Amino acid sequence: MAALALLSYAGAAWPQEPDTLPPPDSVVAIGGLTVRVARPTTTAGGASALTAGIDSVSTTPAPTVEDVLRRMPLVQIRENSRGEAQPQLRGMESRRVAVLVDGVPITLGWDNRTDLSIVPLTAARQMTVVRGLSSVLHGPNALGGVVLVSIGDGSTEVRPPPVQLAGGLDNLGSASMALGLATVFGGTGGELVLRAGGGYRNRSAVPLASGIEQPALGDPDERLNSDFEHGNGYVVARYEANGGAWLSLSSFGFASERGVPPELHTTDPRLWRYPKSSRWVTALSGGTGWSETPWGQGDLEASVGLDFGETEIDTYESLAYESITGGEEGKDRTLSLRLLGDHTLGAGILRSAFTLAETRHKEFIEPDERATYRQRLWSLGLEVEQPLFDDGGSAPRARLSLGVSVDGSDTPETGGRPSRDAIWDWGARAGGTLTISDGNFLLHGGLSRRVRFPALRELYSGALGRFVVNENLDPEVLGVAELGVTAGTGGVELQVVGFYQRLTDAIVRVSLGDGRLQRQNRDRIRSLGLEILATYQWRRFSLTGDLTIKDVTQEDPTAPPGQGEPEYQPWIAGGLGLSAPLGFEIWSTGRVRHLGPRYCVNPDVEGQIRLSSDTWLDLEFGRSFGLGGPSRRLDLVLALDNVTDSAVYDQCGLPQPGRLLRLQFRIF
Least confident span in 37-41, 155-159, 507-511, 531-535:
37-41
Higher local confidence (pLDDT), 219 or 120:
120
Q: Looking at residues 327-340, what average pLDDT do you find?
A: 93
Taking CA atoms, 269 is separated from 207, 537, 612, in Å, by 20, 47, 21
Helix (H) or strand (E) run with residue 577 in it:
strand 572-583
Helix (H) or strand (E) run with residue 586 in it:
strand 586-595
Least confident span in 123-127, 438-442, 640-644:
438-442
Question: Could you give the CA distance from residue 418 to residue 216 in angstroms, rounded to a whole number?
Answer: 46
Residues 348, 382 contacting (CB under 8 angstroms): no
> Tens of pLDDT along 68-81?
898 888 888 988 88
Q: Looking at residues 218-240, what average pLDDT do you find?
A: 92
Strands, E, within 188-295: which ranges? 190-203, 228-241, 246-259, 272-287, 291-293
Least confident span in 2-6, 165-169, 300-304, 313-317:
2-6
- The winner for highest mean pLDDT among 109-123, 275-289, 389-403, 557-571 is 275-289
Looking at residue 453, the DSSP 8-state letter turns out to be P
Q: Looking at residues 184-194, what average pLDDT do you find?
A: 90
pLDDT of residue 579: 92
Looking at residue 252, the DSSP 8-state letter turns out to be E
Question: Could you give the CA distance from residue 114 to residue 120 in angstroms, rounded to a whole number?
Answer: 12
pLDDT of residue 143: 85
Would you say the C-alpha torsion 177, 75, 381, 446 has a positive or negative sign? negative
Examine the pLDDT at 462 and tell me if it is beyond 60.
yes
Ordered structural domains, the chain, with CATH:
10-667 (2.40.170.20)
Least confident span in 239-243, 464-468, 540-544:
464-468
Higher local confidence (pLDDT), 557 or 120:
120
Q: What is the mean pLDDT of the chain?
A: 84
Q: Looking at residues 39-56, what average pLDDT do you find?
A: 66
pLDDT band per the 50, 70, 90 thresholds, residue 55: confident
pLDDT of residue 392: 56
HSE-CB for 245 with a 13 A CA cutoff: 6
CB within 8 Å of 256: residues ≥ 6 apart: 118, 228, 229, 230, 231, 274, 276, 277, 278
CB within 8 Å of 368: residues ≥ 6 apart: none
Q: Looking at residues 142-153, what average pLDDT do you find?
A: 86
pLDDT band per the 50, 70, 90 thresholds, residue 9: very low
19: phi then psi, degrees, rounded to nearest 5: -75, 0
Number of H-type helices and E-type strands within the chain: 2, 37
pLDDT of residue 561: 60
Work out whether strand 467-468 and strand 517-538 pair parallel, antiparallel, or are unpaired: parallel
pLDDT of residue 281: 95
Residues 541, 580 contacting (CB under 8 angstroms): yes
pLDDT of residue 222: 92
pLDDT of residue 363: 85
Per this entry, what is the length of the chain? 668
pLDDT of residue 14: 28
